[in-house]
Amino acid sequence: MSQSIKNKGWVVTFSGTGINLALGILYTWSIFKASIKQSIEAGGEGAFNWELASLNDPYAICCIVFAFAMILAGKCQDKFGPKITAFIGGVLVGLGFIWISQTTDYVSWVLGFGVLAGVGIGFGYASATPPALKWFPPAKTGLIAGLVVSGFGLASVYIAPLGQYLLGIWSLQNAMLFFGIAFMIVVCGLSMLLVNPPAGYVPGEDAEAAPADSKEEEGIRLTPSIAGWLPEAVSAIHSSKAVEMKRDIKPSEILKKPDFYILWLIYFIGAGAGLMVIGSVAGMAKASMGELAFLVVAILAIGNASGRIIAGIISDKIGRSNTLIVMLLFQSVLMFAAIPIMGSETINAVFLVLLTTFIGFNYGTNLSLFPSYTKDLWGLKNFGINYGIIFTAWGVGGFVMGRMSQMLKASTSSFSSSFMTAGIFLVIGAALTFVLKARLAKQGLTQKRVA
C-alpha cells in the first residue's frame, strides 16, 4: 500500500472532523438563547417577542429535524457519495443562518435555525463518518468514529467564546450572518476532500498481502468482494478468535429486529439526557459566573469531544456494551448529584464546571458508540441510512427532554425535576443495555467490539 493511499484515509478523517467543527454550532445554542432572553426582557423596538417557555424551541426543533434528515442524508451519502451530500449540507446551514440574521420573528427562527439549518447539519454530519470508516480496518472503528464526531462536540470550545465576543461588538443577528457565511465556505470547501476508497480496497497493511479471494484461518478478513470490502465476513468455525459471518443488512431488515428498537431506546435516553443539559448550560452558569458563563459551554465541549474519542478507543478494547453500561450509570449518578448542586442558592462555579464537563464527557460517548454499533451489527454498505434511522433517537431525545426541561424550568424556576427524571431514565437505559448485551450473546455476536 503506497504512502499516499495510507495518508488519504487520514485526510478524509480530519476533513470530516473539520466539517463537524463547523456544524457543532448547535451545541452553542445556550449562548444565543441567553441573548434572546435578554432581548425579550429588555423589550423595545426590534426586540425578540417570544414566550419564555419557547426559548428552546428552535434548538429542540433543530435536534429532531437534524436527526430525521439523517435518514435522507444517509441514503444520499450511500447513493451519491459523501462529497455531494456534505456540499448540500454546507449550503443549507449557511442559508438557514443567513435567514435568521435578518429577523427576530419566532416562526422564522424555528424555520431557519430549526428546519433549514437542521437539515443542513444532518446532511453534513451524515457524510463525515462513513467515508472515514471505509479507509480503516475494523479494529479501528471506535477510534476513527470517535475522532470524526469529536469535531461536533469540540466546536463549542471556539464558537462559545467567539460567539460571546461577536455578541458584544455586534448584534445577535450580525453574529448569525457571520456564522452563516463562514460555515458555508468551510463545510463546502472541506466536502471536496471527502472520498470513498477505490473499488476493491482492503483496509490495513496486513490485508494487502493476502491474495485475492483468500481468507485466513484466524478469521478476520475476506479480501475484495462485490461491495469492495466485507470487513468481518469470515467463517467462525476454525478459531475462537474468529467472528461470525455477517452481511450488509438493508434498512427494511433492521426495522424487523428487536435489537434495533432496544438500541434506539438506549440512544434516546443517553442523548436526550445530555442534550437537556447542553441546551441550558449557559443559563445554569449565569448565576455563578455572570458574563463568563460561556466558559462552561466551552469546557463542556472539551468533555463532549474527549468522551467521543476515549469511548471509541475503550470500546475497541472492552466492547461497545460494556463501555455504554459504565457511561450510562456514571451519567445517572451525575444527574442525581446535580440536584443539590443546582438547587443551592449559591452555585459553586468549580462544582458546576466539573459537573458539566463530566456530563458532556458521558454524553459524547453516545456519538461514537452508536455509529460503531451500527457498523458492527449491520455492515458498511448501507451504513449511512442505517445509522440515519438509529440517529432519529438522538433527535427525538433532544426534542423531548429539551422541551421538557425548558417547560419545567419556566413553571418551577428549577432544573431539579429535569435532573431527577433524566437520572431515572439513564438507569433504565443501563438496564436495557444489559438486555441488549445478553441478546447479542445468544445470537453469537460475542466478539469484543460489540459485547
215 DSSP β-pair partners: 222
Q: Look at residue 296 in the predicted model and tell me its pLDDT.
A: 80
CB 378 within 8 A of CB 231: no
Burial of 285 (0-12, 13-18, 19+ CB in 10 A): buried
Beta carbons within 10 angstroms of residue 206's beta carbon: 12
Helix (H, G, I), strand (E, B) or coil at 201: coil
In a domain? residue 203: no
Whole-number Å distance between alpha carbons of 104 and 116? 16
User: How far from chain centre, in Å, is Cα 445?
Assistant: 25
Q: Is residue 7 part of a domain?
A: yes
The pLDDT tens digits for 196-219 are 998 888 886 444 333 344 343 333
Q: What pairs with residue 232 in β-bridges?
A: none
pLDDT at residue number 49: 92
> What pLDDT, on a 0 to 100 scale, did the predictor assign at position 3?
58
- 242 in any annotated domain: no
Whichever domain contains 284, its CATH number is 1.20.1250.20
pLDDT value of residue 362: 93
In a domain, 144, yes or no: yes
pTM: predicted TM-score of the whole model, two decimal places: 0.78
Listed residue (297, 245, 242) closest to 34, CA to CA: 297
Evaluate whether residue 241 is within a structural domain: no
Do 245 and 261 meet the contact criterion of CB atoms below 8 Å apart?
Answer: no
- Please give the residue range of the domain that contains residue 64: 3-197+248-441
Give the pLDDT score at 11: 95
- How many angstroms separate the Cα of 318 from the Cα of each of 139, 220, 324, 346? 12, 18, 10, 41
Query: How far apart, in whole angstroms, are the C-alpha atoms of residue 299 and residue 394?
Result: 22
pLDDT of residue 434: 95
pLDDT for the residue numbered 451: 60
| Cα–Cα dist 381/61, whole Å | 30
The answer as to whether 224 is a domain residue is no
Number of domains in the chain: 1
Give the pLDDT confidence score for residue 235 in this predicted structure: 32
- Res 9: pLDDT: 92
Whether 243 maps to a domain, the answer reads no
Answer yes or no: is 329 within a domain: yes
List the chain residues with pLDDT less than 50. 1, 205-246, 447-448
* Burial class of 107 by CB neighbour count within 10 A (0 to 12, 13 to 18, 19+): exposed
